[in-house]
Structure formats: structure tokens, C-alpha cells
Structure 1
Amino acid sequence: MILTSRTAVLLSTVTLFAQVAFGLPTTSGPERRNNARAVGQISNRNESSTLREAPESESDLQSRLDGIWASTTDSNGADTFWDKVVRQAHQNILPGQGIDINYIDEPDTITDTLVGPLDPRDSFSNLNNPDVPGVHYPRSSDVDPSFTIPEEALRAAIYLPPGFTASSNRQVVLFVPGTGSYGHEAFGPNLLKVITSAGAADAVWLNVPAAMLNDAQSNAEFIAYAISYVKALIGDDRELNVIGWSQGNLATQWVFTYWPSTVPKVRQLISVSPDFHGTVLANGLCLNAGNLTNDIKEGLPCPPSVLQQEYNSNLISTLRAAGGGDAYVPTTSFWSSLFDEVVQPQIGLTASARIGNARKKGVTNVEVQTVCGVSPGGGFYGHSSLLSHPLVAALTLDALRNGGPASLERIESDIHDICQNVVAPGLELADGIKTAGDIVLAAVRLIAYPAKLKEEPVLRAYAV
């Protein structure tokens, strides 16, 4: 795998889509031809397509994203998620690195490369993580189900950055990524940078194999183990916080529900763009490249965790019935109203990101447009770009410094100034572009993922 400059990241959306279209092992001949048809639109090979220079300012970035995602259709009438991914790629709003596909020859290698991490810090082969007393396998406690994934794999998915020490007196944040992403690429340009720069906490992160596209119940095992492992590593004198993006929050709620031993180990949960109640847009994510401009159809193959995130899926319904719609620990949830291109509904009392407080643990639900109003911070923010939002950063720091949940009242005097920013203070334009670009990289992996299903995975015995 060859890491390249930012300008070469177009390979993550152009040539990579093209290579995938002709070689996924589980894709039939007709489906490959359909993919190839769509790739003609994605690959920027027709003469009418143009690749713009990257945004020149934060306001330019926000304006371009607004023009792509907040609009119903473009001049050609295109309005699917996949159409808009193409438009974002052509606007050069992309993640900060790509891969050199000239070194990829075989379809299996292409698939592994696209779905796998692009950065060594997103490795799930961290075999040097130390043994820690107090981490029990295959069961963390008598009240938990047994793990089904080998302990070596569970431990190797935890990334302890160079310089991390178990003896520091600072609290720790465990970052849990979302669908189609890994820990550092999701959080590195935004909240991880904000938190470490402010000295608010030490950070570790989770890199779940297959970028959280596998069965969400398997993804949850990695989270459950990571909570127990990191807490045992840092001891009782340091507090463990969890910050999740997208599915990372849903899977964490699953962990709190079915691995109850994890709950007292976590100080708080901070959730960005979560889909605690699923999303009505999941079916649209299952269209795949070959159906880029077709009407939505039922029963198209899709990564398992995407099927499980459909609104009222078996997994979502089961979690809700078991009490997973309410907080188990102090919880702060952030979402972007009508502009989230992946999770809907996300407005008012119906927001999928809204979490209840039946257990009286303390909850702060924040729809950023409601708080920031007509200021720049009240404008367009999508599923990934919310990670660099100035209010999200400010309230995350507030929660870490004071204990969760975050409090709007504690920062009330600063809210006007905070909301005047497009990206959080301390972040640069390049950070905002990388963060927004994660949605394109996630889309690449949605297509590349080889083990697509037509039906949701069955529920595990412990949840039935």
C-alpha cells in the first residue's frame, strides 16, 4: 500500500471505483456491467466533467457542501446519495490521502486494499499491545455473553499511539469510528486533534476490521473488549470516556445493553451523528454503484451493518425494546438536522440521534442548527463534517473537563463567538476538508465490501 499526496486522493474515488467495478469476487457479470455503467459517471472520464480546485476557505467549503447535499437535485436531475458522492469528489472535497493503484493487480487485493485502512495508525494488527491483568476472556463477567472473536484479534484492533502510557494522571478517550471508517482517519483531523491539543485527555482508538461494515453484533464485541481492556490498562485512578461517530454510538449502546459490566467502566459517552434509532436512508446506501441512477429497490445486496441500521430493523427494534434508546451513562449527543445525508430523521423529537434519559444518568441532546441559528455554525453540516463543528468541539471539551453530559449553560456566554466559526478553533481548512471527505471514502468501501447480504444477519442468542 502506497500512501500518496493529497492531490492523489482522487484515486480513492475515481480509479478505485473503476477497479472495483470489474473485479469484486462476489459480484456477478451483469452487476459488474451495471457497476461499469455507473463508473463512467463517477470516474470523471467524460468530457463534460470537471475537477475543481480544493476549497479556498472555510466558507467556500461549507458553501460547496451545501450546494451538493442540501439541494434536492442538480441540473441533471440527479439526487441519490451516490450521485452526490460523485459531485463531492469532483469538487475535490476528499480525505487527505489515497493509494497508488498501480501496485494493485488482483481483484481480491483490490477489495482488501479498498476496505482496509490507508494509514498505519488505523491498523487492526497491533500485536504488541501488552497483557493486562483483569481482562477476562471469553467473558468479561458472569453477566456478559461470551465473545465469539479470538482475543488476539479483539486486542489487536486497539491502537495505543506512541507515547501513550498507562501511568499518566490524565483521563482517556476511546474513539470509536462509524460505518466505513477507522479510528484515526475519522477523528484525527477533528476531535482527536482538538482534545489532545487542549491537553484535555489522552487518546486511544479502535480500528474494527472491515471498517465497521461487518455484522454490527461482531463490531460490538470489539467495543466491549476495548472498554474492558483500556479500563484495566489505565486502572481505577483514571477515567475512561467513549467518543463515537455514527454506528460507533449505536454499537456502543448495544454493548452497554448486553455487556452490562462495561457500563461502570465508562465515565460518559459523547456521540456525533449517531443513529440510535436507525435511518430511513439505509436502503439508499444499498443501491451500490450499478444502481447509481436507478429508482430505489428493495432487497439489493448491502454490507451487513448497513442492513442492521435500517430504521426499525431487527437489531434496532431489539435494542430499543431492551432499553437501548435511553442512556446508560451520562451522554451528550450531537446531530445536524435536515442536512445529515446518511441518518434521517434527524430533526426535533423524532431525531434518530436523540437519546432518552429514563435511567436519569444525565443527557444533553444538541441539534447544532437550533443552537447556532443563523450564524455560520448554524449552516450546512453533514454526517461527517459535523465532527469538525465548533460547537461540537466546545461542548466535547466542556464534558471532558466537567464530567458528562456537556452543558450549554456552562458555555452560554461563549456560544455566539463559537458559532461564528465554520470549523472548530485550532483546526485548519485542510482538517475540515479531510473530515468532510470521509463520506467519500466510506462510500468507496460500501461498494468495495465483498460479503454483501440481502437480509439482515440473525440476532445472536443473547439478544433474542
Structure 2
Amino acid sequence: MVAAAAAALVAVSVGVSPAVADTGPRLDVAPADLAASLTCSAGIDNATQDPVLLIPGTTLTADVNFDWNYERAFAAVGRSYCAVTLPNHGMSDIQVSAEYVVSALRTMADRAGRHVDVVGFSQGGMITRWALKFWPDTRGDVDDVIGIDPSNHGTLDAFAICATGCAPSIWQQRTGSRFLATLNAGRETYSGINYTQVYSVQDEVVVPNLPPDASSSLYTGPGRISNIAVQQICPAHVADHLMMGTIDPVAYAVVIDALDHAGPADAARIDRAVCSAPLMPGVDPVALPANELRFNSQVATSLAGAPHVAVEPPLQPYARS
């Protein structure tokens, strides 16, 4: 037993379970459901530049999160993208939701014939790391992992939310959860992948998000890492969690810097003129009130209507090995 435990510890320290083959565990979600979750713009097939996978945050569908901001901005400059909708608005077990991300990465890389860049908000900024950890083949499909206020190290807010039960994914995003302990065991990043984590120190959902130990930041592993608070670029900038994932011009500038350069984003390259911009590109100020209402309504409805569980979901067998 001592030898087996030692072998498992070594496997966790390098980020791959001893029971996992190069392609990782079998996907249990029905192929038709995986395919239906992914919607893509024109230009994905045989793409001329790396396409972007957009992953929404907890409580959100991909359209409500992105069709009025990032998708419009990318379309305006001819950048191809896909968006994946996680089951139950991202409220279900993240281990299951990660299968949708694995399928999306494989599908996009195959169709594009090149690497995929990932842009995710909140849970969507963290979940790709679970896919990369347990489905090692996906590491060769990804160039950039860009998280906007990602819940990489969880949030203290979830303790109060889960005091009388909460949705599975909220349990898993609590600071110190078994899910996050497993995700962050050993290396947090992988060689050949660039990691940009952009966050706001005023984040009221992913808490605490204060440097040098911000919950969104990454620290370990051989991947190239850039942790950037928008206040590093614009010291007086005001941006809460929901703004960061939808309309924030500084967060968008960091995302584009990462997409347009080799390696992760560099705060020094960001034009400080962005500090006076009211909105990110792609956001129609006339339609903004209606889109914010749609966004906030989905957040509230998802939080109120999602089935609650009394405890954190158990780790899948592949993650316990």
C-alpha cells in the first residue's frame, strides 16, 4: 500500500493520473450532446489563424455571456471562434462540464488544422485546466489559455452560498474544495501553453482577488504565465466581476494582447488610452441596457432555479487515482 500511495503521489505531482492514457478517460457524455453544445462562426475550417474557444461563466449560457460583446468584436476583425455552452448553465458537476471542453478543443483543432486559443470567464476561465490535466492529448491542441476573473483557486463567497446547500459547481469553486485541491496539485500549467489570467482587485465573486496571492492567478508549472490585474494598467479603474466578463475595455485589451502576440499578455504593451474607454469593442451602447438585463436575469434565474446538493460532488475515479 505504501508503494501504491507513493506512485499515486508522484503521478499527481507531474499532473497525470497513472490510470490515465494519453487521451485520458472515456467521455461519458453522449456525442450528440457534446456536438450540440458547440456553435462556431465562419472561418473555423482550415483557419488561417488560431480560432478562439469562448467558455461562459457559472449561471450563463454562451450566447448570453458573449453574443453581444466578444463574438461581435471578433467578427468585426475576422477572428474565427466557437462558443461552448456547459450543461445546466454551468451549475452542474464541473468534472462533467469539462468533457464538453475536451470535445470542443478536439473538434476545433481538427476542423481548423491548428492550435486553439481559449478565452473563458470565471468558471469558464478555470475549467480548461481540468481538461488539460486529465486529457493530456488536449495539451497539443492549445496555444493560449486566457482566463477573465477565473476561479483558479476558488472563492470564499461560496461558503456562505453553500451553507444550506448549493449547486454542484459552486461547491467545487469554494476555496479549499476537493476539486480545486486536485486541480492545483502538482503543476498548474503545462509546457508549450501560454497562460494569461486577467482579473480585477474589485472582484466581488472570486474572493479574495488581491495580489500577490490573487485567487485568479496561477503560479506553478512550466507553462508561460502572466497574471495581470486591470488596476496594474489603469490604477483608478473600476470593474466588478460581471463587467469583467462582458464589457470591460481593459480586460478585453489584455485578451487581445495575448491573442495577437507570442506568449502570454504583457501589461507593458497595453496602450493606456484604454483607461478612458467606456466599453470594449463590439458592445453596442444603445443595446447595452437590454443585454445587461438579459445577462443579469439569467444569472438570477440560474442561481434561484438550480438544484441544490448538500455536499460537494465526489471526485471521479480518474481524479482519485
Q: Which amino acid in 1 is paired with 2:121?
A: W
Deviations 1:294-353 (A, max 9, x none): xxxx3x1211111111110110111112433x456201111111x222110101122110
State whether residues 44 and 108 of structure 2, in contact with CA within 8 Å, keep that contact through their aligned partners in structure 1: no
| 2:284 is the alignment partner of 1:428 | yes
| 2:250 is the alignment partner of 1:385 | no
- The structure that is strand-richer by fraction is 2
Identity across matched positions, percent: 28
RMSD over aligned Cα, in angstroms? Answer: 2.1
Distance 2:231 2:92 in 1: 33
Q: Which amino acid in 1 is paired with 2:280?
A: A
2:268 aligns to what? 409
The match for 2:233 among 371, 374, 380 is 371
Q: Which amino acid in 1 is paired with 2:212?
A: L
Q: Which amino acid in 2 is paired with 1:395?
A: V
Q: Which amino acid in 2 is paired with 1:365?
A: N
2:89 aligns to what? 211
| 2:310 is the alignment partner of 1:447 | no
Shift of 1:160: 2.3
The match for 1:355 among 194, 197, 218 is 218
SS of the residue corresponding to residue 203 of structure 2 reads coil
| 2:60 is the alignment partner of 1:196 | no
Q: How does 1:232-251 map to 2 (within 5 A)?
A: 232-235=110-113, 238-251=114-127
SS of the residue corresponding to residue 267 of structure 2 reads coil
SS of the residue corresponding to residue 268 of structure 1 reads strand
The match for 2:107 among 219, 229, 233 is 229
**Are the structure 2 counterparts of residues 311 and 174 from structure 1 closer, same or farther at C-alpha, using a change threshold of 3 Å?**
same
1:438 aligns to what? 295
The match for 2:274 among 399, 418, 427 is 418
Q: With structure 2 as the length reference, what TM-score do the two structures score?
A: 0.86
**Are the structure 2 counterparts of residues 196 and 141 from structure 1 closer, same or farther at C-alpha, using a change threshold of 3 Å?**
farther
1:292 aligns to what? none
SS of the residue corresponding to residue 118 of structure 2 reads strand
The match for 2:258 among 366, 377, 399 is 399
**Are the structure 2 counterparts of residues 249 and 187 from structure 1 closer, same or farther at C-alpha, using a change threshold of 3 Å?**
same
Q: Which amino acid in 1 is paired with 2:126?
A: L
State whether residues 327 and 363 of structure 1, in contact with CA within 8 Å, keep that contact through their aligned partners in structure 2: no
1:319 aligns to what? 183
Distance 1:255 1:394 in 2: 26
**Are the structure 2 counterparts of residues 220 and 311 from structure 1 closer, same or farther at C-alpha, using a change threshold of 3 Å?**
same
SS of the residue corresponding to residue 266 of structure 2 reads coil
State whether residues 269 and 330 of structure 1, in contact with CA within 8 Å, keep that contact through their aligned partners in structure 2: yes
Unaligned 5+ runs, structure 2: 1-19
SS of the residue corresponding to residue 269 of structure 2 reads coil
2:151 aligns to what? 275
State whether residues 257 and 323 of structure 1, in contact with CA within 8 Å, keep that contact through their aligned partners in structure 2: no
Shift of 1:217: 0.3
SS of the residue corresponding to residue 241 of structure 2 reads coil
Q: Which amino acid in 1 is paired with 2:71?
A: L
Q: How does 1:48-447 map to 2 (within 5 A)?
A: 142-161=22-41, 163-199=42-78, 201-235=79-113, 238-286=114-162, 298=163, 300-324=164-188, 326=189, 329-337=193-201, 339-359=202-222, 361-374=223-236, 378-379=237-238, 381-387=239-245, 388-411=247-270, 414-415=271-272, 417-430=273-286, 433=289, 434-435=291-292, 438-447=295-304
Shift of 1:431: 5.9
Deviations 1:260-297 (A, max 9, x none): 111110110111010100100013334xxxxxxxxxxx
**Are the structure 2 counterparts of residues 431 and 456 from structure 1 closer, same or farther at C-alpha, using a change threshold of 3 Å?**
farther
Shift of 1:198: 2.4
Q: Which amino acid in 2 is paired with 1:373?
A: P
Q: How many residues get paired?
A: 298
Distance 2:155 2:39 in 1: 29
SS of the residue corresponding to residue 459 of structure 1 reads coil
Shift of 1:437: 6.0
Distance 1:346 1:364 in 2: 15
Distance 1:390 1:232 in 2: 32
